[in-house]
Amino acid sequence: MVTVANKAGLEGISAGESAICQIDEEKGGLQYRGYRVEDLAEQASFEEVAYLLLMGELPSHQELQAWKRELDYAGFLPDPIPQVLRLVPATAHLMDTLRTGVSLLGMMDSEANNPSFEANVHKATRLIARLPLILSLACQSKQDKHQPISAGTCAENLLYLLTGTRDKAKAKELEVSLILYAEHEFNASTFAARVTASTWADLYGGVTSAIATLKGPSHGGANEAVAEMLVKIERPEKAKAWVLAALDRKERVMGFGHRVLKLEDPRSVIMKRRAKALSENMGEMRWYEMAEIMDQTMQEEKGLLPNLDFYTAVVYLLLKLPIKTYTPIFVTSRVAGWCAHIIEQQANNRIMRPRATYIGPPTREYLPIQHRSSRGTIGPGISPPDDPVLN
């Protein structure tokens, strides 16, 4: 006897146990391995948080320095990966290039099929170091090629690779976003990675699955959509009318609401505060003022609060990061969480094999083809094409 919970999208269903991330739906709290995300965002580096997710504990000073050396050592793309990626069409989506790049890295890694904890940590380290390089290569023209900064932090390198900017203060704003994007329990891409890992597929296969899942517009891309929305609105005085008109048209205003965090998203609170401070420091308040008006309007009209993507888009616009890179930047951060979940899944593994609630027709008798009547459609509900060959 199999009991199947009939909830669309598995909402509210526990799909497993994890020691990596805790979400308090009632209070809006979020912790990585027991540490409040507010404390990590304000006091830790991205490298410390990535180490915490992978290893289970924050590093000592000596451990952190060793970890940074490993990241620096891995900060190159082995041949022939750059040559192959340069063959990718210029029109290709950056997420597709990242997905392909991860697959290529898996083919070049001698430890790819070694599922041990040590080997998986080595692979995760290489991915954290190399995904920004793949993204940079995918974005570059021959005129704007940037190399990693020697001994730079992950955030400093990413900012420089994408904008050519060497600015520690601005890199810190990017770093906070990386920390906040690094992990969020059993979201769709993480769950996809764990399903893949549960078959004993290699870590690169799990991350490839996750990237393909994150590309879907219902999961990733909200920060890009928010930025495009702000660019389209142009001025703060137009923001409220724009939101009201969009709601009248029954259109979704991106960057609001969350599937799990029904109350306040603590990550959004952090990014709103930092977006305001950065706007004031740069003397550029336009994006923040627009966002604040939209935020207030959405609360008044729909009772919806902003999620992490909303004010992150303001910070990224101020940092002059290309909008098309926003979701790929998410990847360069969330890969730490994905790898932590893949490692955790394979440490106590059983292949994922859920059940479905059957809603199809009851048992039927097979009819020979000469006794079947035409339904006037091709397949389930698909009308036949207007094609003289078929007609």
61 carries an active-site annotation: no
Q: What is the pLDDT of residue 70?
A: 96
122 carries an active-site annotation: no
Q: What is the pLDDT of residue 391?
A: 35
57-60 contacts at long range (C-beta below 8 A, 24 or more positions apart): 57/33
Q: What is the pLDDT of residue 24?
A: 84
Check if CATH label 1.10.230.10 holds for domain 224-318.
Answer: yes
Task: Pick the catalytic residue from 202, 265, 309, 341.
Answer: 309
DSSP SS3 for 317:
helix
Q: What is the pLDDT of residue 388?
A: 40
Rounded mean pLDDT, 214-228 = 90
Buried b (16+ CB within 10 A) or exposed e, 161-189: bbbebeeeebbbbbbbbbbbbbbbebbbb
Q: Which value, to the nearest 10 degrees, does the dihedral of the CA atoms of residues 129, 131, 133, 135 take? A: -160
Q: What is the pLDDT of residue 354?
A: 87
**What is the dotted CATH code of the domain comprising 20-222+324-347?**
1.10.580.10
Q: Is the pLDDT score of 11 beyond 80?
A: no
For residue 20, give the nearest of 376, 345, 359 by alpha carbon. 345
Phi then psi dihedrals of residue 366, to 5 deg: -75, 130
248 carries an active-site annotation: no
Q: What is the pLDDT of residue 142?
A: 42
Q: Quick check: bond before 82 cis, omega within 30?
A: no
Q: Is the pLDDT score of 81 beyond 50?
A: yes
Site of tokens 């490993």: 70
Domain residue extents for the chain: 20-222+324-347, 224-318
pLDDT in tens, 97-126: 999 999 999 999 999 999 999 999 999 999
pLDDT in tens, 137-170: 998 754 455 567 667 899 999 999 999 999 999 9
Task: Pick the catalytic residue from 258, 265, 295, 341.
Answer: 258
Answer with the residue of higher pLDDT: 28 or 175.
175
Rounded mean pLDDT, 323-341 = 97
pLDDT in tens, 239-295: 999 999 999 999 999 998 766 666 778 999 999 999 999 999 999 999 999 999 999
Rounded mean pLDDT, 9-38 = 85
How many C-beta atoms lie closer than 10 Å to residue 122's C-beta? 17
Task: Pick the catalytic residue from 93, 122, 146, 219.
Answer: 219
Please report, as a single letter, which amino acid is at residue 391.
N
Q: What is the pLDDT of residue 387?
A: 44
Average pLDDT taken over every residue of the chain: 90
pLDDT in tens, 373-388: 887 655 555 555 554 4
Q: Answer whether 152's CB lies under 8 Å from 342's CB.
A: no
